[in-house]
Amino acid sequence: NLDIKSVRPVQVSLIPYIGTNWKVSGSATNRFSLNILAGYSGGLDGVEIGGLLNMTRNVASGVQIGGLANYVEGNSDGVQIGGLVNFVKGNIDGVQIGGLVNYSREATKAVQIAGLVNYGKGRFDGVRVAGLVNFSNDSAHGVQIAGLFNIGNRHTGGFQLAGLVNYARVLSGVQLGFINVASRVERGTPVGFFSYVSNGYHLFELSANEIFYANLSFKSGTKAFYNIFQVGIGDNLKFHGAYGIGTCVQVSRKMAINFESTAGFVLHPTDTVYHGLKLKVIPMGEYRFAKRFALFSGPSWNFFLWSKGEPSATSRGLSPYDFYFKSTENASIQMWIGGVAGIRL
């Protein structure tokens, strides 16, 4: 004669089945539930507080606060706060705050905040914040912020921000992280120190300019935003290394325009560093004469700053000519107009 849909206004328990609901604990839905250590209920439609653990057999609607964990076999609709873990096997619509981990197995429309990991097997829509990792096994849309990693195994839309790595199998949004990786970008772009997109913009480049006659560059990212890594050598074995960013505007099937900016350093054969900052801004045109080969050239604006007392390539700095030179008690500045030309592979 048990009514499995019974609703109890108040329930108090010490551990599962040791409380006011006794053996019907797993069948009753509670309006207010207080579990001194742990409790097990058929459902929640209100507020539940557990010293250690709250377990719900069906739907939890309202607020659950567990000293260690909240466990729901059905859907969760409301707010879950777990000292360590929130675990939901059904759908989530609300807020999850877990000291260590939030886990959702089905569709999630929520704000999830975890000290370490947010893990979702189903579709996610909302905001995720994790101290270490946000992991989405299905498509994810919204905002994901992680101290180290954001991982999306399927379609990822919205915004990913990670202290170290963002990964999306298919990206439709913005990635902001030290390293960004995507198999395919539908729209949007990754922005970071290094980005790699399988169907994106990545090539090698051989070039020469007025100071360094042989340069090798690697560029990776998307046409909207890519990273540049460059090394080169000039006369008297002067060596330089540079890092930069750029963007490419496709004018036609064979013509494109690039805008790039790099910052680098220069070394002398005696390993003496030319102190300060070497900046270069380059607009250039590209002509693709074959599927995998293109010629490019353009002017460059150059800025070089070095400390007094350090050797320089000439008496006036790095370039034998310039349009601006200023020397103070501690440092010197030199600016000149140069050019670059080369081939892209």
Digit-coded pLDDT (tens) for 263-282? 998 887 665 556 578 899 99
List, in order, residues 6 or more apart from 293 with CB less than 8 Å away. 343, 344, 345
DSSP per-residue letters across 166-215: EEEEEEEEEEEEEEEEEEEEEEEEEESSEEEETTSEEEEEEEEESSEEEE
If DSSP codes are grouped into helix, strand and coil, which group holds residue 23?
Answer: helix
Provide the whole-model pTM.
Answer: 0.85
Q: Is the pLDDT of residue 163 over 50?
A: yes
Question: CA-to-CA distance for 189 and 133, rounded, in angstroms?
Answer: 21
- Give the chain's mean pLDDT: 91
Percentage of the chain with pLDDT > 70?
Answer: 94
Q: Contact at 8 Å (CB) between 46 and 64?
A: no
Span of 209-213, 253-257, 309-313 with lowest mean pLDDT: 309-313
Report which of residues 28 and 5 the model is more confident about.
Answer: 28
Q: Is the pLDDT of residue 332 over 90?
A: no
Mean pLDDT over residues 22-29, rounded? 78
pLDDT band at 3 (very low <50, low <70, confident <90, very high): very low
Q: Is the pLDDT of residue 315 over 70?
A: no
Percentage of the chain with pLDDT > 90?
Answer: 74
Question: CA-to-CA distance for 63 and 133, rounded, in angstroms?
Answer: 25
- Rg value, the chain, Cα: 30
Q: What is the pLDDT of residue 273?
A: 58
List, in order, residues 6 or more apart from 5 with CB less than 8 Å away. 29
Provide the token pair at 185.
């970008």
pLDDT band at 93 (very low <50, low <70, confident <90, very high): very high
Q: Is the pLDDT of residue 164 over 90?
A: yes
> pLDDT tens-digit profile of 238-250?
889 999 999 999 9
Q: What is the pLDDT of residue 1?
A: 46
Q: Is the pLDDT of residue 146 over 50?
A: yes
Which DSSP helix (H) or strand (E) runs through 266? strand 255-267
Report which of residues 113 and 316 the model is more confident about.
Answer: 113
Q: What is the pLDDT of residue 308?
A: 72
Question: CA-to-CA distance for 155 and 157, rounded, in angstroms?
Answer: 7
Q: What is the pLDDT of residue 136?
A: 94
Q: Is the pLDDT of residue 152 over 70?
A: yes
Question: CA-to-CA distance for 282 and 297, rounded, in angstroms?
Answer: 9
Q: Is the pLDDT of residue 28 over 70?
A: yes
pLDDT band at 76 (very low <50, low <70, confident <90, very high): very high
Ramachandran bin of 78, using left for φ above 0, alpha for ψ from -120 to 50, beta for the remaining angles: left
> pLDDT tens-digit profile of 279-297?
999 999 999 999 889 999 9
